[in-house]
DNA sequence: AAACATTTGTCCGTATGTATA
DNA sequence: ATATACATACGGACAAATGTT
């Protein structure tokens, strides 16, 4: 009998990690509502683990800004203020722009092909009005660029901000529009030509436009 | 006997918080060396608390990138690579520039006076070659601007990046130069005039120049 | 005002996994 | 290969703090 060549490590997931992932998902998608009280004892029972890993994951979620702990009193899910998208997108915009600029020297044929392929799927998602799919695919697109930038600080920060954007999507219906498709194409084009400054500019405009669209939808 | 009007709450510091602050300080100033193994039992004894709050603070330090935990194996202080300052400063630069731009509409006389006063102290520190003092005062200066920007995401991210810059100072002798004094003056001037775009540009140059100075010192 | 119920904070023992002899 | 030593991961009980009756 042949030995399975698949040496995929089971990536032993600790109780803390699975609790963290589960809770984060629930908070992002609204299963756990803003303001909801989180009793670590209850959560522990619900997840079939003890309070220790639950408490630990709650603390990590607090650093991320998804929960707020009031020592000795309570732990609750943070609010989702519509306006916070206005605080969220500007730093994301400048960091994505920076990432794109840093990525340019590292861009090769393989990366360009990936970006084109992802943008095709993005186009399909927009046209079929699968907006959550579109958001996820858009994240993939930008993730390729962030990876290519090869800067772990930017990587971590963007990851964190994106999680909050995802939460805003569920709570306040952020949507991506047709126009993003063309902007992605422009990004690819200028990356191919090695024009870092132009890429950075377009990238920033891509996000700034998203901010303004959001504002006009919600205020107009 | 009059009741003290100062209602400053003692801000009851939990064992976790004090452990976190202490460990972070030790890692930044080099008391705990890069690569050093951290045994939670030992640390707990040293700090006179139990292992739980120690573990919790170690996990927060891991998120910050100051320690790395190998589940079931070991926990150790992360390395301090000289090159990582090259990764650290660009995102810090664009975020500080953004913060400055966002701060402009909120700048008032009080803020301008604070900035001028801080820059005086900064000048003294540079001239008397108290470089660590200069770094701390420079942080104060930028903190005022970040506060004025009123964006909690930017606030948190910059805080985090600054901690890493501080660590680099201790390990690789980052120094601030004479030129920063004048740049600070330019920032104040353009803030007073409400010129957000100009402030942003100067701010970014302020940090980019720091990057280049560092490179020339370390490669030349 | 004081005792109670509830929730978080801390302690420490044990289980589990890893590296080494 | 087995056993041993050791560090972390987890569990459950107790202590401390808060709000309430």
**What is the three-class DSSP state of B13?**
coil
Cβ count near A54 (within 10 Å): 26
Name which residue leads in pLDDT, A176 or A154.
Answer: A154
- Which residue has better confidence, B141 or A177? B141
pLDDT higher than threshold 80 for residue A193:
yes
**pTM here?**
0.91
Asked if residue A96 belongs to a domain, the reply is yes
* Residue at which a domain ends, from A60, A77, A94: A77
Among B77, B94, B111, the domain boundary falls at B77
Q: What residues does A70 pair with on adjacent strands?
A: A74
**pLDDT (0 to 100) of residue B8:** 42
Rounded, the Å distance between the CA of A58 and C1' of C17 is 25
Query: Could you read off the pLDDT of A111-150 as tens digits, one per residue?
Result: 999 999 999 999 999 999 999 999 999 999 999 999 999 9
Give, in degrees to the nearest 5, the angle at Cα A72 between A71 and A74: 80
Top pLDDT among A189 and A6 is at: A189
CATH number, residue B122 = 1.20.120.530
Asked whether residue B114 falls in the same domain as residue B209, the answer is yes
Print the domain residue range for B67. 15-77
Chain A residues touching residue B52 (CB < 8 angstroms) = 52
- CATH code: domain of residue A65: 1.10.10.10
Range with the lowest mean pLDDT among A63-67, A77-81, A172-176, B175-179? A172-176
Nearest to B60 among A59, A88, A151 (CB): A59
Q: How far apart are the first and last CA of chain B?
A: 67
CB proximity A65 to B under 8 Å: yes
Query: Can you tell me the mean pLDDT for A170-190?
Result: 90
Integer Cα distance of A17 and B136 in angstroms = 36
Q: Last residue of a domain, which of A45, A61, A77?
A: A77
Q: How many domains does chain B have?
A: 2
Q: What is the pLDDT of residue B220?
A: 42
B21 touches chain A (CB under 8 A): no
Of A112, A97, A107, the residue nearest A197 (C-alpha): A97
Whether residues A88 and A73 fall in one domain:
no
Tell whether B211 is within 8 A of chain A (Cβ): no
The whole-chain average pLDDT of chain A stands at 90
Which residue would you say has higher pLDDT here, A95 or A3? A95
Specify the range with the lowest mean pLDDT, choosing from A42-46, A122-126, A158-162, B80-84: B80-84
Q: The tokens 């604070």 sit on which residue?
A: B114
Probe site for chain B from A91, A168, A201 (most B CB atoms < 10 A): A91
- When scoring B51, B66, B70, B91 by the number of chain A Cβ atoms within 10 A, the one with the most, hence best to mutate, is B91
Residue with tokens 């732990």: A75
Residue–nucleotide distance: A13 CA to C14 C1' (Å)? 20
Q: Please check whether residues A63 and A120 belong to one and the same domain.
A: no
Whether B170 and B119 share a structural domain: yes
Contacts of B52 (CB under 8 A, 6+ apart): A52
Residue A7 lies in a domain: no
Q: Residue A10: its pLDDT value, please?
A: 47
Which residue in chain B has the smallest CA separation from A90? B98
In angstroms, what is the C-alpha Rg of chain B? 20
Examine the domain organization and report whether A57 and A148 are in the same domain. no
B151 to A90: CB separation less than 8 angstroms, yes or no: yes
d(CA B168, CA B85): 7
- Whole-angstrom distance, CA of residue A164 vs CA of residue A34: 13
**Per-10-residue mean pLDDT, chain B, length 220:** 41 87 96 95 95 96 96 93 92 96 96 97 95 94 97 96 94 85 95 94 86 72
B3 in any annotated domain:
no
Whether A62 and A141 map to the same domain: the answer is no
Quick one: pLDDT at residue B25? 96
Question: Mutate which of B94, B97, B99, B200 to disrupt the A interface (most A C-beta within 10 Å)?
Answer: B94
Nearest chain A CA: its distance from B168 CA (Å): 14
Within 7 Å of a protein beta carbon, the nucleotides of strand D are 7-13, 16-19
Q: Give the per-residue pLDDT at A70.
A: 93
A2 pLDDT above the threshold of 50 = no
Token look-up 């858009």 returns: A138
- Residue A50 CA to nucleotide C13 C1', Å? 15
Q: What pLDDT digit, counting tens, does each position of A87-120 carry?
A: 999 999 999 999 999 999 999 999 999 999 999 9
Q: Kindly state whether residue B161 falls inside one of the protein's structural domains.
A: yes
Provide, in whole angstroms, the distance separating residue A41's CA from nucleotide D7's C1'.
27
Residue A210 lies inside a defined structural domain of this protein: yes
Q: Is residue A2 part of a domain?
A: no
Instruction: Encode B55-98 in three state secondary structure.
Output: HHHHHHHHHHCCEEEECCCEEEECCCCCCHHHHHHHHHHHHHHH
What is the pLDDT, as a whole number, of residue B208? Answer: 82
Residues in Cβ contact with A87 at an 8 Å cutoff, skipping those fewer than 6 apart: B151, B152, B153, B154
What's the DSSP call for residue A37? Answer: B
Chain C nucleotides near the protein (CB, 7 A)? 7-13, 16-19
Please tell me whether residues A19 and A104 are part of one structural domain: no
Give B48 CA → C18 C1' in Å: 28
Question: Are the CB atoms for A75 and A38 separated by under 8 Å?
Answer: yes
Flag whether residue B11 sits within 8 Å of chain A, measured between CB atoms: no
Residues A143 and A158 in one domain: yes
* B73 and B89 share one domain: no
Q: A124 and A150: one domain?
A: yes
Q: What is the pLDDT of residue A213?
A: 81
Whether B139 and B205 map to the same domain: the answer is yes
Q: Are residues A42 and A60 in the same domain?
A: yes
pLDDT one-digit tens code per residue, B12-66: 689 999 999 999 999 999 999 999 999 999 999 999 999 999 999 999 999 999 9
Report the candidate in B80, B82, B94 with the shortest Cα–Cα distance to residue A102: B94
Confirm whether A6 is domain-assigned.
Answer: no
In a domain, B5, yes or no: no
């Amino acid at each position: 009998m042949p030995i399975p060549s698949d040496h995929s490590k089971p990536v032993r997931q600790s109780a803390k990690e699975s609790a963290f992932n589960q809770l984060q998902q629930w908070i992002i998608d609204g299963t756990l509502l803003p303001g909801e009280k989180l009793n670590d004892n209850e959560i522990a029972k619900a997840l079939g683990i003890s309070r220790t890993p639950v408490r630990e994951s709650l603390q990590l979620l607090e650093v991320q800004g998804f929960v707020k702990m009031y020592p000795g009193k309570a732990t609750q899910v943070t609010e989702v203020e519509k306006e916070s998208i206005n605080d969220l997108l500007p730093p994301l915009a400048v960091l994505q722009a920076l990432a794109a600029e840093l990525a340019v020297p590292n861009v090769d044929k393989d990366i360009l092909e990936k970006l084109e392929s992802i943008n095709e799927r993005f186009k399909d998602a927009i046209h079929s009005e699968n907006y959550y799919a579109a958001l996820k695919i858009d994240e993939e697109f930008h993730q390729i660029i962030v990876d290519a930038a090869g800067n772990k600080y930017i990587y971590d920060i963007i990851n964190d901000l994106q999680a909050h954007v995802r939460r805003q999507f569920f709570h306040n219906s952020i949507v991506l529009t047709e126009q993003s498709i063309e902007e992605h194409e422009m990004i690819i084009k200028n990356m191919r030509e090695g024009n870092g400054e132009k890429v950075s500019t377009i990238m920033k405009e891509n996000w700034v436009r998203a901010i303004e669209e959001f504002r006009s939808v919600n205020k107009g």
